[in-house]
Homo-oligomer: A and B are copies of this chain.
Amino acid sequence: MQRKFKAGILGATGAVGQKFIEVLTNHPWFEISVLAASERSAGKKYRDAVNWIGSKPIPTEVADLEVVEAKPGFDADVVFSGLDANVAEEIERDFAAAGYPVVSNARNYRMKDDVPLLIPEVNPDHTKLIERQSWGSSGYIVTNPNCSTVGLVTALRPLVDAFGVEVVQVVTMQALSGAGYPGVASLDALGNVVPYIGGEEEKMQTEPLKLLGKLEDGRVSPASIAISAHCNRVPVLEGHTEAVSVKLGQKVDAADVREVFKNYRSPIADLGLPSAPDPLFEIFDDQRFPQPRRHVELGNGMKVSIGRIRNCPVFDVKFVLLVHNTIRGAAGGAVLNAELLVKQGYLVHRETTVAVGA
């Protein structure tokens, strides 16, 4: 790949926007061309507009970029959206209508019929839904799921394929970073568990059905799985831990499930996507693992770690998984989506198109 794709970031000063910058810096296929945010930030240097919360410094490449307003018109082959849900609907629509591929982390269009809700390792064929979108332009929208859904569904995929999945009980212990900044008050976080995250359980109970659904006649028919989720906030910085119990379509043993995870090759395993971890899963036999502090960064935050695979006295099998909520569960997942779009030919250098259109 000779020439990099120009990437604009919408909501660049927010928590997700900052992660997009981290993930896209030094990316082999993309380069950040535009940082867009609200009117209030527009015109400032990025370093002055942002309250940078990460533990790595602002990349020097972007620190002095001037922030622009989040309106179509700037030079980008793709825009990554880290916008808040309360503004994403309108702005993303505007960009799609203006011909931009929009790769979004916002929840607004996730469940829309013709918008792919995408995890490349899970449902790479769902990108075909793009062709049904009609924004009056060559633009389109692709979304990634909620951060806690990502870990769960990625782990379910091989089980669905090998045995079928009928019922899922999942209890999450989610990191503070998932709430953005300032997010959770420290008096609610320190030494505490908050057993509620607004809207989270609903997402975990519905998004997986679309993700694991079959594309038939250009439409996704949702999977038929009963899912129940309890979502909790715990005092962890990065990394959602999930305790999962699964009723499978066949009577199998924990050892069989372990084998399936261990040997799993995802449908995109051989595409050479730069952000795709290989192998996809890190499997632990040490009962104490995975743990967010120790393992959240595996595969540059793109792996799904799985441990404690054992028989379940109620269903068939239970296990623990860990997913990096702001990398794999947000910015990194979106960038992997864009990589797949490049590989599939949906994401191209835009100026060509423009030239043709002119």
Contact = CB atoms under 8 A, between A and B. Distances in A.
Contacts of A54: 294
Given A298-B57, A313-B205, A318-B228, A237 B308 contact: no
Copy count, this protein chain: 4
A307 B315 CA distance: 25
A193 B234 contact: yes
Interface string A281-302: 0000001111111111110000
Contacts of A295: 55, 57
A320 B195 contact: yes
B182 A187 contact: yes
Interface in A52-77: 52-57
A153 to B, nearest CB: 16
Interface string A93-126: 0000000000000000000000000000000000
A194 interface: yes
B291 A195 contact: yes
A193 B314 contact: no
B245 A169 contact: yes
Contacts of A187: 53, 176-177, 181-183, 237, 293
A144 interface: no
A191 B193 contact: no
Contacts of A189: 186, 189-190
A260 interface: no
Contacts of A226: 313-314
A228 B312 contact: yes
Enumerate the 9 nearest inter-chain pairs by beta-carbon distance, A residue then B residue, closest first. A182-B185, A186-B189, A171-B171, A230-B243, A228-B314, A192-B293, A195-B320, A186-B186, A196-B287
24 contacts: A57-B298, A173-B173, A173-B232, A176-B190, A182-B185, A183-B186, A185-B186, A186-B235, A187-B237, A188-B293, A189-B189, A190-B190, A190-B235, A191-B293, A192-B293, A193-B291, A195-B243, A195-B291, A195-B308, A195-B320, A196-B287, A196-B288, A226-B313, A232-B243
